[in-house]
Structure 1
Amino acid sequence: MYPNRSVLPHPTRRHTVGMVIAAVLLLVISLLLAYPDRAGAAADPLLSRGKPATASSSEDSALGPQNAFDGDPATRWASAEGKDPQWISVDLGAAADITRVALTWEDAYAKAYRIEVSGDGTTWTRLAEETAGNGGTDDWPTVSGKGRYVRVQGTARGTAYGYSLYEVEVYGTSEGTPPETGAFTVVAAGDIAAQCTASDSDCAHPRTAALAQQINPKFYLTMGDNQYDDARISDYRAYYDKTWGAFKNKTRPVPGNHETYDPAGPLVGYKTYFGAIAYPQGKSYYSFDEGNWHFIALDSNSFDQSAQIDWLKADLAKNSKACIATFFHHPLYSSGGHGNDPVSRPVWKILYGAKADLVLNGHDHHYERFAPQNPDGKATADGLTEIIGGMGGAEPYPIENVQPNSQKRISGEYGVLKLDFTDSGYSWNYVGTDGKNKDTSPKYTCH
């Protein structure tokens, strides 16, 4: 009857009122006869409404994947135009027995697509497949599969545009919200030790160090300019070591531009102070794993050197973790005094291509978070989330030129980033030295 279709269950379609009535009657009768044990499946609850969604691309920030799960028939997700394949995925929050999936296409529909389910967001199993789609509404009422993630993978466009869905509805029975696994906390800051001590009431880095130590994370990250002004080894020992040095053995640092000003040579004081902690692989850049996360420490002073770029590409190619975070000094985007730094763009392009999740920076002495964006500054659900955490102790910089996709900016209040990681996502708080949360991020799911 359907020579071009998979042997998996076929969708039902709506075209005219008369056809709808006839189709519904035939469907009910056929289901009762052919699937008597599934007669109650239509009563299974809708699981996908309002759940976190990601996509391979979005045409623009107003057409993000969350629109396909908001229950509003006027909003939609749209992929980039003219490219195959494209996908949209939803995290149901827990493993579920999937019994039905309904899709409502905009004019830019899929001629061919698969509906897939996954337990971990990495390995996918096919629930249904269409090879002769013609848009409208596709209802797959008798699918059967188990998993936490459901994805619609478009493989052939029905138009010259992209793929666009008003709604994706996933029905079934959930096992409930599972406990977070692989959870750990990290404290991060950049631009830390001014040449002052706790005896000076205006000295901030003793207070940020006390806060960081009180949080007691799995480990600490620094985003460069760890020691002012010239990062000499004598200054590291006189200032940084008296505060943030208390947990040096749990710290994963990177250098900033001030580390290059050392009269003894670029990074000499930095390398002498941190030793193998900062050079575990013999270079000023390195990587390590924790839980389901791969962390990459980069030296943005030498982004123009092919050795580091080649290493980064090879490191990402070998990575087996689902989530990727990187930290370095110079931000590609910033609303502060230094502003955007294009030296980081080539690295962003590599990270974006590897579906990295999070970028931590310093350099500008303020706190700022951005919505996920691509290397060209276009908001997109599969983009990198950038945080500037340059309030570790250096004199604050004012906000000067607010950048697109900047969601929150704080200047003048010293503090640290308290980042919470799980096997599948992350979130954070910016905590002031008074112990109070100054900003709380959304919860993000790894790409």
Structure 2
Amino acid sequence: MFRNPLQTSLLILATALALVGGLLLAWPGRAGAAADPLISRGKPATASSAESSSLGAKNAFDGSAATRWASAEGKDPQWIRVDLGAAATISRVRLSWEAAYAKAYRVEVSADGATWTPIAQESAGNGGTDDWTGLSGKGRYLRVYGTARGTAYGYSLFEAEVYGTVDGGPPPAGAFTVVAAGDIAAQCTASDSGCAHPKTAALARQIDPKFYLTMGDNQYDDARLADYRAYYDKSWGAFKAKTHPVPGNHETYDPAGSLAGYKGYFGSIAFPQGKSYYSFDEGNWHFIALDSNSFDQAAQIDWLKADLAANGKQCIAAYWHHPLYSSGGHGNDPVSKPVWKILYGAKADLVLNGHDHHYERFAPQDPDGKATAGGIVEVVGGMGGAEPYPIEDVQPNSQKRISGQYGVLKLEFTDSGYGWTYVGSDGQVKDTSPKYSCH
């Protein structure tokens, strides 16, 4: 076919443009890669620090350009992390920096929140918007790890957007997050650098769960109302309205009467059914809050049996203060054994306790301490802020023990199972549990 010179020139130009466009689309780090969906919007986020409670990590994943995360000023390194809810293949990360930007940082992924793999790295950042496309990363967690600030301030992001595909489809049905801890408010405040409960409270607030559980000894030493107001209220009290507490032995020491300060501070939150024990539902889960100071009273035992008989949920979690099994200083507490027998008979899944000031998880076991796949999983989470206790006598079926590192339990529930991480007050994951299915 005959072409005149103009037609030939246009054809050559079109071909060249197509080739260049194809190269740009295929080149990692360039905009224009295949469009994967945004998978990070509204997901739980944590950070190494926050400049204030209004500048928390969740602001970087809320879809609003009017909110932001800001780290503490003048400190390197700092990081922000998002939990995508399930394993995902990540193809793009878009970072919208505020004036306090990162000059050097890494984008990293992790399957368990403990071991991290870089998928992008910047060594000469200049703020604005960084759009990393053509990435190839797999993991449930993604974090931006800043190693050098671009200003004298901290790190600040208006938005961090993660694009890709969640492996196996959408997150499991009924998924929600809970934060839990026991043995919390020593008689100190944030003005004391050695005071731990403001630090665990800051971490718990950054996680921003569906609700919070406390496993007793919420306030030291005698848990009077004045003590609650002076100490607990200044830290964990920030999210009291979303808290489902239980009392510990220190709540019984109040000279004004057993549980007087506890009841005066929490009110109907701690007595929603008129007693110091109660239950509530979330998703496919039935949660039972018990008062282990009165396990010897028939009224609570009879109530527990009736409550379990009326339960229509597949999954059951119970929590109270005194653990049946513990490798810490208090050790095993037989006062809880009758309650374990009742829960075991009802095919309960999970028990959370405090009392001993350490973290410990146990393999599924029956009330007599025999390992069995159909048993109850027990977790001791007494590291909310009181002075740590050492590990003394390791119990059978104890799988992991941590003493000396304050932190919280970050529990992930679905309609058919659960798992958790123990997160230290430094924001680092110290332990990750197996994934369990409900009985």
Quickly name the TM-score band, shorter chain normalised: 0.5 to 0.7
The C-alpha deviation readout for 1:265-305, integer Å capped at 9, x for no partner, is: 00000000000000000000000000000000000000000
- For 1:369, which of 361, 371, 374 is the aligned residue? 361
Opposite residue 268 of structure 2, the aligned amino acid is A
Counterpart position of 1:446: 438
User: 1:189-231 deviations in whole A, cap 9, x for unaligned?
Assistant: 0000000000111100000000000000000000000000000
SS at the partner of 2:279? Answer: strand
C-alpha separation in 2, matches of 1:233 and 1:244 = 15
Q: Aligned to 2:412, what secondary structure does the other structure show?
A: strand
Q: Could you say which residue in structure 1 is the equivalent of 2:270?
A: 278
Match for residue 338 of structure 1 among 308, 330, 337: 330
Find the partner of 1:208 among 190, 200, 210.
200
Q: Displacement, 1:177?
A: 6.4
Distance (whole Å) between structure 2 residues aligned to residue 324 and residue 178 of structure 1: 24
Q: Residue by residue, what CA displacement relative to the aligned partner does 1:20-42 show, whole Å, maximum 9, x if unpaired?
A: xxxxxxxxxxxxxxxxxxxxxxx
After TM superposition, list the pairs within 5 Å mapping 1:280-429 onto structure 2: 280-429=272-421
Q: Deviations over 1:141-174 (max 9, x none)?
A: xxxxxxxxxxxxxxxxxxxxxxxxxxxxxxxxxx
| CA distance, structure 2, for counterparts of residue 345 and residue 235 of structure 1 | 32
Superposition misfits of 4+ residues, deviation over 2 angstroms? 176-179
Aligned residue number for residue 63 of structure 2: none
3-state DSSP class of the match of 1:296?
A: strand
Residue in structure 2 matching 1:242, options 209, 230, 234: 234
Structure 2: distance between partners of 1:309 and 1:235: 31
Match of 1:265, SS state, is coil
2:257 paired residue number:
265
Deviation at 1:178, TM superposition (A): 6.5
Residue 255 of structure 1: CA displacement? 0.1
Match of 1:230 in 2: 222
Aligned Cα root-mean-square deviation (Å): 1.1
The whole-number CA distance in structure 2 between the counterparts of 1:179 and 1:417 is 21
1:340 corresponds to which letter in structure 2? Answer: N
Q: Within 5 Å, which residues of 2 pair with 1:94-109? A: none
Amino acid at match of 1:216: D
Equivalence for 2:175: 183
Q: Which residue of 1 aligns with 2:428?
A: 436
Output the CA distance in 2 between the equivalents of 1:271 and 1:224.
13
**Paired AA for residue 276 in structure 1:** S
Residues 223-245 of structure 1, C-alpha deviations (whole Å, 9 max, x = no match):
00000000000000000000000
2:311 maps to amino acid: N
Q: Which runs of 5+ in 1 are unaligned?
A: 1-175
2:262 maps to amino acid: Y
Q: Which residue is equivalent to 2:245? A: 253
AA in 1 matched with 2:303? W
The 1-side partners of 2:283 and 2:343 are apart by 20
Name the CA distance, whole Å, in 2 between partners of 1:362 and 1:246: 21
CA distance in 1, matches of 2:417, 2:290: 22
For 1:409 and 1:337, the matched residues in 2 are separated by 13
User: How many residues are paired up?
Assistant: 273
**Structure-1 residue corresponding to 2:49:** none
Cα offset for 1:407? Answer: 0.1
Q: How far, CA to CA, are the matches of 1:437 and 1:178 in structure 2?
A: 24
Instruction: State the match for 1:91 in structure 2.
Output: none
CA distance in 2, matches of 1:339, 1:229: 21
> Structure 1 CA distance, aligned partners of 2:177 and 2:380?
18
Percentage identity across aligned positions?
Answer: 85
Q: Deviations over 1:422-441 (max 9, x none)?
A: 00000000000110000000
Residue matched to 2:108 = none
Indicate the SS of the match to 2:190. Answer: coil
Whole-angstrom distance in 2 between the partners of 1:328 and 1:206: 22
| Deviation, structure 1 residue 179 | 3.9
The aligned runs of 1:58-77 (5 Å cut-off) are none
Question: Letter of the aligned partner of 1:438 in structure 2?
Answer: K
Tell me the TM-score normalized by structure 2: 0.62
Q: Distance in 2 between matches of 1:342 and 1:372?
A: 18
Letter in 1 for 2:280: F
* 2:408 counterpart SS class: strand
C-alpha distance in structure 2 between counterparts of 1:252 and 1:430, whole Å: 19
TM-score by length of 1: 0.61
Equivalent residue letter for 2:216: G
Which residue type is aligned with residue 390 of structure 1? G
